[in-house]
């Protein structure tokens, strides 16, 4: 059973995690320059 | 005059104004093709997001999600991953030497005018098909807003696009894209709360949508292999489609690129997620449309009040135009710079070159309309044409571009066979392969095998071809 639970909210969660990951990487890349 | 027509007239006036301003800001070919290579993070990021967000997003994505359900939405994750890869891995080497076009990069790295012409030809043909899909969507919008036949809508949009793109080149494209991104954002932000009000809020929507389309939140409507290979297609396409790569040249430096791409990712994710919610609303409100591509125009005209509905339609138009203008730049430069000037008329004066540049854009812009008028390429779901284009670009260019700046042994012959083989394999799979697997997988694997195999069988590239992209390659090779 999938239901609206994870299939639906999981996508929003995954997007948020990706953004946090990118920003963290970007800050470190700028610091290392 | 209805509010709809006023909104559209105002919108077109701004676009033309920007085109006029850009003509004065364009002094040479570098300005015309890559906006002088001096874009900041806001304009650079905005044009990336606006180019990515096409009629495919506002019409096609809603269309597919209307038909197959939410699982399709997960393909979205491939976009930030692709952009992240592009910025973190590819861009630092790729932008060491700036070129005016992607085939010009191919010439520098693969030391040949012929292979540059080949890259130009592949881009040209694939891009014309892509433009065609977008123009069809434009025709549907014009029909909804102005009540004119779709054919006249297509001709009208093409004319508007050509005017500002031909006049102002990349500068016009970048600034109109930034404006159009604002229109898209406003459209999506206004439309979602109003659509949700009609279905008792988000909670109500989630309940109603499951009763209208019981499989909407399951993984059953789309085979996992198809979903995964679609994601792969968008990932590889995101990394190596020429209209994305050229924006790396257009932005000022690596710091600007990193920030611009962050802005772009935020906008793409935000707009897409809002559009997905609209798709769910469309399932509830209009459960029996003949084609999914009608879902968005229906939401805009039947759900929203007249003025907001026209802002939404303007947003769809903005999505379409901001993608097509970038494609016109890519295809126009392929025709006039990489094919005509590179192979047929290398001695042209700067003045003559600028004229040929503009003529190239007129030719590639007019071709899709001529093809449509003669009955070629009508009726397909917009999103699937977008996918085929993305697959072709991915199969042709990921290996030559990414491999080219990381693998010193990659040769001209390897890159040429990767491009031709990748395109042929993609088409072959599209025609005869299993429909549960996207053609990109086959195209990419064939391209990779040829790229590596043929490169190893042919003599290594000269040091001069490697110098721009590999640190200390000159000293190592001459030692």
Whole-number pLDDT of residue B351: 85
- Number of A:B CB contacts under 8 A? 56
Whole-number pLDDT of residue B377: 62
Nearest Cβ partner for B262 among A2, A23, A33:
A23
CB contact under 8 A, B217 and A19: no
User: Which structure tokens are listed for B43?
Assistant: 């304009």
Q: Is the pLDDT of residue B2 over 60?
A: yes
Q: Which residues of A1-20 are buried (b: 16+ CB within 10 A; e: fewer)?
A: ebebeebbeebeeebeebee
Contacts of B73 in chain A (CB under 8 A): 11
Q: Is the pLDDT of residue B476 over 60?
A: no
* B241-266 per-position pLDDT tens digit: 899 999 999 999 999 999 999 999 99
Nearest Cβ partner for A22 among B76, B219, B265:
B265
Q: Is A26 on the interface with B (CB under 8 A)?
A: yes
CA–CA separation, B449 and B446 (whole Å): 5
Q: Is the pLDDT of residue B233 over 50?
A: yes
Residue B71, min C-alpha distance to chain A (Å): 7
∠ CA(B116), CA(B120), CA(B125), 5° rounding? 155
- What is the enclosing helix (H) or strand (E) of B446? helix B439-457
Instruction: Categorize the per-residue pLDDT at A1 as very low, low, confident or very high, splitting at 50, 70 and 90.
Output: very low
Whole-number pLDDT of residue B220: 85
Contacts of B88 in chain A (CB under 8 A): 25, 29
Q: Is A27 on the interface with B (CB under 8 A)?
A: no
CB contact under 8 A, A19 and B269: yes
Contacts of B266 in chain A (CB under 8 A): 19
Compute the average pLDDT of residues B446-459.
Answer: 97
Instruction: Quote the percentage of chain B above a pLDDT of 70.
Output: 96
Q: Is the pLDDT of residue B1 over 70?
A: no
Compute the average pLDDT of residues B438-442.
Answer: 89
Query: ipTM > 0.90?
Result: yes
Instruction: Categorize the per-residue pLDDT at B179 as very low, low, confident or very high, splitting at 50, 70 and 90.
Output: very high
Contacts of B379 (CB under 8 A, 6+ apart): none
CB contact under 8 A, B70 and A29: no
Span of B135-139, B151-155, B364-368, B398-402 with lowest mean pLDDT: B135-139
* B351-388 per-position pLDDT tens digit: 888 888 899 999 999 998 888 888 766 655 566 777 78
CB contact under 8 A, A30 and B74: no
Contacts of B219 in chain A (CB under 8 A): 2, 7
CB contact under 8 A, B217 and A18: no
Whole-number pLDDT of residue B227: 87
Nearest Cβ partner for A2 among B218, B258, B259:
B218
Compute the average pLDDT of residues B115-123.
Answer: 94
Whole-number pLDDT of residue B329: 92
∠ CA(B192), CA(B195), CA(B201), 5° rounding? 90
CB contact under 8 A, A19 and B266: yes
Q: Is A29 on the interface with B (CB under 8 A)?
A: yes
* B408-421 per-position pLDDT tens digit: 999 999 999 999 99
Whole-number pLDDT of residue B475: 46
CA–CA separation, B217 and B227 (whole Å): 14
The DSSP secondary structure of B386-444, one letter per residue, reads HHHHHHHHHHHHHIIIIIHHH-TT--HHHHHHHHHHHHHHHHHHHHHS-TTS-HHHHHH
Task: Report the mean per-residue pLDDT for chain A.
Answer: 88
CA–CA separation, B372 and B143 (whole Å): 16
Contacts of A17 in chain B (CB under 8 A): none
CB contact under 8 A, A11 and B74: yes
Q: Is A20 on the interface with B (CB under 8 A)?
A: no
CB contact under 8 A, A15 and B80: yes
Whole-number pLDDT of residue B119: 95
Whole-number pLDDT of residue B19: 87
Whole-number pLDDT of residue B383: 64
Instruction: Quote the percentage of chain B above a pLDDT of 90.
Output: 49
CB contact under 8 A, B218 and A7: yes
CB contact under 8 A, A8 and B76: no
Contacts of B218 in chain A (CB under 8 A): 2, 7
Which of A4 and B203 is assigned the larger pLDDT?
Answer: B203
Q: Is A7 on the interface with B (CB under 8 A)?
A: yes
Task: Report the mean per-residue pLDDT for chain B.
Answer: 88
Whether B232 contacts B438, CB under 8 Å: yes
Whether B129 contacts B331, CB under 8 Å: no
Select the residue from A6, A13, A15 to test the B interface by mutation, using most B Cβ atoms within 10 A.
A15
């Amino acid at each position: 059973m999938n239901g609206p639970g994870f299939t639906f909210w999981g996508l929003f969660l995954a997007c948020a995690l990706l953004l946090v990951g990118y920003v963290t990487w970007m800050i470190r890349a700028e610091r290392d320059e | 005059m209805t509010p709809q027509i006023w909104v559209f007239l105002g919108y077109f006036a701004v676009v033309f104004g920007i085109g006029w301003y850009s003509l004065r800001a364009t002094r040479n070919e570098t300005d015309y093709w890559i906006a002088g290579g001096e874009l900041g993070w806001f304009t650079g990021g905005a044009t990336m997001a606006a180019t990515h967000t096409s009629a495919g997003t506002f019409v096609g994505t809603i269309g597919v999600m209307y038909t197959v359900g939410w699982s399709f939405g997960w393909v979205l994750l491939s976009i930030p991953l692709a952009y992240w890869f592009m910025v973190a891995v590819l861009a630092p080497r790729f932008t060491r030497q700036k070129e005016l076009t992607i085939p010009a990069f191919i010439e520098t790295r693969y030391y040949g005018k012929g292979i540059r012409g080949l890259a130009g030809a592949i881009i040209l043909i694939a891009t014309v098909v892509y433009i065609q899909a977008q123009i069809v969507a434009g025709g549907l919008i014009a029909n909804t807003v102005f009540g004119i036949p779709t054919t006249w809508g297509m001709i009208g949009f093409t004319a508007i696009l050509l005017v500002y793109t031909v006049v102002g080149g990349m500068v016009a494209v970048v600034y109109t894209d930034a404006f159009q991104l604002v229109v898209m954002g406003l459209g999506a932000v206004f439309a979602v709360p109003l659509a949700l009000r009609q279905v008792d809020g988000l909670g109500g929507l989630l309940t109603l949508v499951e009763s209208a389309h019981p499989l909407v939140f399951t993984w059953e409507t789309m085979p996992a292999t198809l979903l995964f290979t679609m994601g792969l297609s968008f990932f590889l396409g995101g990394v190596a489609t020429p209209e994305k790569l050229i924006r790396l040249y257009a932005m000022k430096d690596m710091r600007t690129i990193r920030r611009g791409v962050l802005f772009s990712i935020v906008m793409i994710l935000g707009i897409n997620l809002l559009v997905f919610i609209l798709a769910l609303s469309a399932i509830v409100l209009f459960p029996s449309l003949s084609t999914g591509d009608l879902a968005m125009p229906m939401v805009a005209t039947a759900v929203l009040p007249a003025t907001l509905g026209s802002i939404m339609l303007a947003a769809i138009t903005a999505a379409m135009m901001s993608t097509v203008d970038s494609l016109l730049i890519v295809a126009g430069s392929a025709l006039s710079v990489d094919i005509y000037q590179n192979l047929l008329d290398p001695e042209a004066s700067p003045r003559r070159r600028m004229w040929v540049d503009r003529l190239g854009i007129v030719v590639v812009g007019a071709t899709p309309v001529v093809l449509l008028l003669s009955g070629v390429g009508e009726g397909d779901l917009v999103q699937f044409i977008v996918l085929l284009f993305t697959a072709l670009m991915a199969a042709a260019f990921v290996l030559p571009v990414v491999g080219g700046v990381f693998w010193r042994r990659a040769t001209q012959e390897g890159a040429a066979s990767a491009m031709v083989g990748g395109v042929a394999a993609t088409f072959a799979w599209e025609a005869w392969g299993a429909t549960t697997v996207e053609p990109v997988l086959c195209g990419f694997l064939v391209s990779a095998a040829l790229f590596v195999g043929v490169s190893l069988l042919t003599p290594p590239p000269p040091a001069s071809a490697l110098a721009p992209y590999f640190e200390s390659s000159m000293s190592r090779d001459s030692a």
